[in-house]
Structure 1
Amino acid sequence: METKARKPYDGASRKLLLAFDIGTTFSGISYSILDPGKIPQILPVTRYPSQGTAGSDSKIPTVIYYCKNGKLAAIGAETLKEGIEVEVEEEGWQIARWFKLHLRPKSAIVAGEEPVPPLPCGKTVVEVFTDFVFYMHNCAEKFITETHGAVVWASLSKDISYVLTHPNGWAGPQQTAMREAAIKAGLVPNTPEGRARVVFLTRLLSNGMSLAAAKEEEDEPPRKKTKLNKAAAAKGATQAKEGDGVLIVDAGGGTVDVTSYCRQPDGSYVEIAIPACYFQGSAYVTMRAKAWFTNFFKGSRFKDDVDALTHTFDAKTKPRFQKVDEKYHIPFASVRERDPALNVTAGRLRMEGSDIASFFKPSIDCIVNAVKEQSAAAHVPIRSVFMVGGFSASEWLFQQVKAQVEPLGIAVSIPDQHVNKAVASGAVSFFLDSMVSSRVSRAMYGLSIYQVYDSTNTDHVKRGHKVEVHSVTGKPCLFGFFRVILPKGVQVTTTAEFVKHFHRQEFNRADLDKYSSEILMYSGESQGSPWINDEPDMYPVVCTVEADLSKITATEEKNPKGETFYRIEYSIVLLFGLTELKAQVAGPASIIFADGGFA
């Protein structure tokens, strides 16, 4: 079955949709001018200020240089201008590279992993993100104004909808930080209406399964030999046998995102296993290489050349590496430099292919294990793996994964097509087409509540020493019971509501007006006891839900002491959809995500 044709835009007025894909190493912008009654077209921004060759590439480096005083010196395409290395050295500029990784969830940090480079000039990740979002918006404005005219931009710029992409392992805290950056950058006002104009999509939703748009890899520059196109991967998925599982491995600059889908008769896709996100993208290969170089040249006269060596490795050696039994020569210093003891000849470091292979190994092992885990968890057989993302353009990475996965009876492929469009096109396409109709919940979400003590319940009896008298009702209770609102591993459609009913009691009715409760997520592996105290560290606070319950009718009751108290009953509704967590508490509610949700 072919992909369903895009429908005409059904809005009442003309509108502009902008998508920013801020990748770990490269970024891109796409947009669509939505005209009522017309089928939307997705267009990439292909021209950036200071870009060497306009129109040839739709990606720019995710790099910022700051002056010593913290002011912006160069950003994005500006960092590619000829001779900038001299300015950097002479002016003492500091670089913000791979800054997106500072947003990663704390739970994603693995002991012993290579450290992410610190942010310069005491900057916070939100401040750096704000600078880059502001720059991206200015680039979009300049391009659209030059392409469609200043009148068009002026007529649409007051009510733009923005789509921001992120790895599928990110959630509320990361989305909150990105939305805050959009507000600080002046994209939208800090109002409920303004915040609603910023929406989020995971990279796998926007890249792996956006069937209607062709798009290019995000996190590596184009290769001459290996060309890559995520849309072609999706096309291959549409040709797979209906009902079979398709696993998209999106290997980018920072993360490896994996999601399994099954194609439905109507052409839509559903997730068939809990998606996963691993911080093992190509940047981590470079980090491991830098650590090796630093150790190798420790105490030598070349110790200050490690950054230059790392840059050359990242730009040339890493993407071209293919054979473990060859020697590789990496230039980093003057051709007059020579030190046989350190394998340096004519300013080049001679390295064994086996050492370079060791930098890739953790990422390769990660992908292979992820395929095995997804295959074991999926409720339909996975027959095909499509490797997408810039890191998948590495011939060594692809061949190693292929060699280990295909013996499992799973085909591994990289579509050999190339269309010069930014990966952000997928975000626009997904926003318009919504090809994925459901996903699988990755964890249990719920609240901590109390239960009235029941002497006939054996579970209560064994916890009898923890019984407390409720301060209002006067009844013996056990506190810290985890009431699940959304179970783990269930299909979540775009409109599904997960509802649970609760009640509260207070002596004063006015004390019931303002509601605030913490939504918890069970992050452990067991399916055992629902009592939070059994695994107190496994129930982090995801967010706080706040609502006004003043209009709910309260009933009067008396406790054993004869004291009158008020009781209200209400429902908490969680909507997980495909992007953001939303909530209702007997009506609209606000969500405040927990602080410190990222590293």
Structure 2
Amino acid sequence: MYNGDEKLVIAVDLGTTNSGISFAHLQPGAAPRVRSVTRWPGQEDAAGDSKIPTLVRYKEGKPIAFGADAVDDPDVEGGPVSYLASWFKLHLHPSTMRSSSNIAVPPLPPKITLKQVYADFLSFIFKHAVEFFTTSAHDGERIWSRLNNTVVIILATPNGWDSYQQGFLHDAIVVAGVLPQGFEPDRLQFVTEAEASVHYALEHTRGGEWLTAGAHFAVLDAGGSTVDTTVYRCVSTTPKVVLEEVTGSECVQAGSVFVNRDAERLLKLKLANSKFNDSAFISAMLDVFERKTKRRFDGSDEASVIAFGRMQDNDPSCDISRGRLTMTSDEVKLAFQNSLADIMDSCARIIERSPKVCDTVLLVGGYSDSAYLRATLREKFAIRGIQFITADDSTKKAAAEGATSWYTKQLVQARAVRAHFGISLNEFFRDSKRSLKLESERPEAKYIAADGKPKIGPILSIVAKKHEVISVESRKTFKYAHHFASKPDIEEMRNCSMTIFAFDADTPPDWVYVRHSETKSLSPGVRRVCEIVCDLSTMYDGFKSEVNPKGQEYWTIEYEFEVSFGTNSLQAEVQWKVNNVYKKSPLQAIPGSFV
């Protein structure tokens, strides 16, 4: 039963190839019921399908069609040219993910920014979700009129996304008009697609047959662009299911669009000397490959037939007869080869990191419809005795429904950090091996602070280690003591900040910046996650006057940052003491790429 205030929750899974929206009208004392939007413009023949193609067509700088309606090119000879925005989610992936895939990301339409594409698409699907709710829910118009100013939006994002992508989506939601400028922070929430999917999967599989306290299991969410894998430990099953991540999740850019990419390369090679090596023919072939071949192919020796053309379309030299292209089993396997290799490696890595045997993997996401993907996983991990359970319905977006369930159930109570997180710190110089090592590397980094004590830095001080499991309730506390030779002006205290850095590899460097870098270039592999900013002017009276060993006066102020790394979005507070009483204030986290 739901025990909070009456609320409308809308969850969005904006995927690379398809998107979906689910919602729930939460009422005190009633069991939450999750529903999906199953009616989209241009998809009247696919009633009940909750997926809408993630497409926007532009003409003269304005959106003219969305989803299925955007597929067909409406251009007429001599008229304005239209441009299709597709796979635009790939533009938002972190640079480390983009560089690993070598995929040619379709360019955005001329003079259209990525944020505008996101805003236009989000605006469109949100308006139709509201229309669906108001016309299909009992008393929907009145409910929407009563609750629209407090509606909560949940966005499902890949495991590999962090605060930069969340900040981008925050702005896009405002530009789209989904939420107003300056909305209350709790009205927009983020959940990883994998965590949303585990909520969906446990509702759509017979978890009671295998889920027991202490069991370790994985969820593999195979989507359009990314394949996310997370391993969980079941802490308890009664009175409610409670889960914990046991190691950092995996996220590889090996989704179904990469099978399409390699299939296109294969077709162009196969048809190199044929009249059918034409963009229109290849596009028609890829459409059939996407809808039928990719899903049905199971790895057997049987050939696959792609019916793309007319009876008079023939070319025996490349296996085309009566508008039908025949592909051998080995040819189709080549289209899957790179994607499956990355998925197998990613799945093996996380299973090997699990502290206990992981004997069940739940498969969700549109790509998990592939019979060949499922067969390859079962063959690869058969020796480990792992069972693979398909928990998805091909007409649904698991992450969208799961994100709505996540809001009320919150099954996951501890999460594993995917990278090392740290802050820039000037350490006290001590007569230790570490301090002497740092001094030998950069003697110029050692200095005497205002309090008269030797320090060295800036050092990358790791505060959350890669794969460390952190409870959603716990927080990391950073104690700061700033020393000034003279008392700062109060205005200088209004915009104080602390940068959170991340390092994705296994062994982080000691130094934040490259040596002798005038522009403060970060050490290789170090990246800015966000800047935590706050107004410290309210604690100005907390400055203390002290005297260093040389008899010089200096000023000190002490405060603490509290940062939560166990939540899906980074949260922070600053606290300080006044007359032995702690005071707290929330902080704003500005994504690193926006600073």
Pick the TM interval, shorter chain.
0.7 to 0.9
For the residue of structure 1 that corresponds to 2:537, the secondary structure is coil
Q: Is residue 509 of structure 1 aligned with residue 466 of structure 2?
A: no
Distance in 1 of aligned mates of 2:447 and 2:502: 27
Distance in 1 of aligned mates of 2:373 and 2:574: 48
Distance in 1 of aligned mates of 2:396 and 2:327: 34
TM-score (norm 2): 0.87
Q: Is residue 167 of structure 1 aligned with residue 146 of structure 2?
A: no
Distance in 1 of aligned mates of 2:399 and 2:432: 56
Q: Is residue 525 of structure 1 aligned with residue 525 of structure 2?
A: no
Q: Is residue 201 of structure 1 aligned with residue 188 of structure 2?
A: no
Q: Deviations over 1:265-303 (max 9, x none)?
A: 242111112111111111110011122333444575423
Q: Is residue 257 of structure 1 aligned with residue 225 of structure 2?
A: no
Shift of 1:27: 1.6
1:304 alignment counterpart:
279
Q: Is the 1:272–1:380 Cα contact (8 Å) retained in structure 2?
A: no
Shift of 1:183: 0.5
The AA in structure 2 aligned to 1:179 is H
The AA in structure 2 aligned to 1:594 is G
Equivalent in 253, 262, 275 of residue 288 of structure 1: 262
Residues 492-503 of structure 1 aligned to structure 2 (within 5 Å): 492-503=470-481
The AA in structure 2 aligned to 1:38 is A
Change in CA separation of 1:246 and 1:188 when aligned onto 2, cut-off 3 Å: same
- Which one scores higher on RCO, CA 8 angstroms, separation ≥ 6? 1
Shift of 1:260: 0.5
Q: Using the TM superposition, name which of 316-325 and 514-523 deviates more.
A: 316-325
Distance in 2 of aligned mates of 1:361 and 1:478: 50
Distance in 2 of aligned mates of 1:308 and 1:60: 20
Q: Using the TM superposition, name which of 572-581 and 113-122 deviates more.
A: 113-122
Q: Is residue 176 of structure 1 aligned with residue 167 of structure 2?
A: yes
The AA in structure 1 aligned to 2:150 is D
TM-score (norm 1): 0.87
The AA in structure 2 aligned to 1:368 is M
2:341 alignment counterpart:
365
Distance in 2 of aligned mates of 1:287 and 1:417: 25
Shift of 1:207: 1.3
Equivalent in 32, 38, 41 of residue 40 of structure 1: 32
Q: Is the 1:243–1:380 Cα contact (8 Å) retained in structure 2?
A: no
Q: Is the 1:335–1:347 Cα contact (8 Å) retained in structure 2?
A: yes
For the residue of structure 2 that corresponds to 1:158, the secondary structure is coil
Q: Is the 2:201–2:364 Cα contact (8 Å) retained in structure 1?
A: no
1:187 alignment counterpart:
178
Q: Is residue 24 of structure 1 aligned with residue 24 of structure 2?
A: no
Distance in 2 of aligned mates of 1:574 and 1:471: 26
Residues 392-411 of structure 1 aligned to structure 2 (within 5 Å): 392-411=368-387
Distance in 1 of aligned mates of 2:13 and 2:450: 52
Change in CA separation of 1:91 and 1:286 when aligned onto 2, cut-off 3 Å: farther
Q: Is residue 477 of structure 1 aligned with residue 455 of structure 2?
A: yes
Distance in 2 of aligned mates of 1:482 and 1:150: 54
The AA in structure 2 aligned to 1:329 is V
Distance in 2 of aligned mates of 1:290 and 1:87: 25
Equivalent in 231, 238, 245 of residue 216 of structure 2: 245
Change in CA separation of 1:96 and 1:474 when aligned onto 2, cut-off 3 Å: same
Equivalent in 327, 331, 341 of residue 351 of structure 1: 327
Equivalent in 406, 430, 435 of residue 406 of structure 2: 430
The AA in structure 2 aligned to 1:460 is S
Distance in 2 of aligned mates of 1:518 and 1:416: 40
Equivalent in 510, 514, 525 of residue 538 of structure 1: 525
For the residue of structure 2 that corresponds to 1:577, the secondary structure is coil
Shift of 1:178: 1.2
For the residue of structure 2 that corresponds to 1:551, the secondary structure is helix
Q: Deviations over 1:506-548 (max 9, x none)?
A: 3232234531121111222126757765991122111111111
- Number of residues of Structure 1 aligned to a counterpart in Structure 2: 564
Q: Using the TM superposition, name which of 157-166 and 90-99 deviates more.
A: 90-99
Distance in 2 of aligned mates of 1:372 and 1:568: 49
Q: Is residue 73 of structure 1 aligned with residue 64 of structure 2?
A: yes
Distance in 1 of aligned mates of 2:467 and 2:261: 34
For the residue of structure 1 that corresponds to 2:104, the secondary structure is coil
1:549 alignment counterpart:
536
Distance in 1 of aligned mates of 2:342 and 2:208: 23
1:591 alignment counterpart:
589
| RMSD, aligned α-carbons | 2.8
Shift of 1:571: 1.1
The AA in structure 2 aligned to 1:272 is V
Q: Is residue 268 of structure 1 aligned with residue 242 of structure 2?
A: yes
Distance in 1 of aligned mates of 2:46 and 2:314: 41
Change in CA separation of 1:157 and 1:209 when aligned onto 2, cut-off 3 Å: closer
Change in CA separation of 1:247 and 1:348 when aligned onto 2, cut-off 3 Å: same
1:225 alignment counterpart:
none
For the residue of structure 2 that corresponds to 1:143, the secondary structure is helix
The AA in structure 2 aligned to 1:380 is K
Change in CA separation of 1:593 and 1:348 when aligned onto 2, cut-off 3 Å: same
Structure 1 regions of 5+ residues with no counterpart? 1-6, 214-230
Distance in 2 of aligned mates of 1:500 and 1:475: 20
Change in CA separation of 1:333 and 1:50 when aligned onto 2, cut-off 3 Å: closer
Equivalent in 218, 236, 257 of residue 207 of structure 2: 236
Shift of 1:161: 0.7
Change in CA separation of 1:520 and 1:86 when aligned onto 2, cut-off 3 Å: closer
Q: Is the 1:337–1:344 Cα contact (8 Å) retained in structure 2?
A: yes
Q: Using the TM superposition, name which of 273-282 and 480-489 deviates more.
A: 480-489
Q: Is the 1:468–1:476 Cα contact (8 Å) retained in structure 2?
A: yes
The AA in structure 1 aligned to 2:267 is F
Q: Is the 2:365–2:397 Cα contact (8 Å) retained in structure 1?
A: no
Q: Is residue 56 of structure 1 aligned with residue 48 of structure 2?
A: yes
Distance in 2 of aligned mates of 1:476 and 1:415: 59
2:90 alignment counterpart:
101
Shift of 1:152: 2.3
Distance in 1 of aligned mates of 2:444 and 2:195: 46
Q: Is the 1:384–1:411 Cα contact (8 Å) retained in structure 2?
A: yes
Q: Is residue 461 of structure 1 aligned with residue 436 of structure 2?
A: yes
Q: Using the TM superposition, name which of 101-110 and 553-562 deviates more.
A: 553-562
Q: Is the 2:13–2:397 Cα contact (8 Å) retained in structure 1?
A: no
Q: Is the 1:447–1:484 Cα contact (8 Å) retained in structure 2?
A: yes
Q: Is residue 143 of structure 1 aligned with residue 136 of structure 2?
A: no
Distance in 1 of aligned mates of 2:113 and 2:392: 40
Work out the percentage of aligned pairs sharing the same amino acid.
28
Distance in 2 of aligned mates of 1:452 and 1:9: 50
Q: Is the 2:248–2:467 Cα contact (8 Å) retained in structure 1?
A: yes
1:228 alignment counterpart:
none
Distance in 2 of aligned mates of 1:278 and 1:141: 34
Distance in 2 of aligned mates of 1:196 and 1:269: 23
2:578 alignment counterpart:
none
Distance in 1 of aligned mates of 2:90 and 2:135: 33
Q: Is residue 128 of structure 1 aligned with residue 117 of structure 2?
A: yes
Equivalent in 360, 374, 389 of residue 350 of structure 2: 374
Q: Is the 1:573–1:584 Cα contact (8 Å) retained in structure 2?
A: yes
Distance in 1 of aligned mates of 2:444 and 2:21: 56
Shift of 1:329: 3.4
The AA in structure 2 aligned to 1:254 is S
Q: Using the TM superposition, name which of 182-191 and 347-356 deviates more.
A: 347-356
Shift of 1:125: 2.1
Shift of 1:153: 1.7
1:318 alignment counterpart:
294
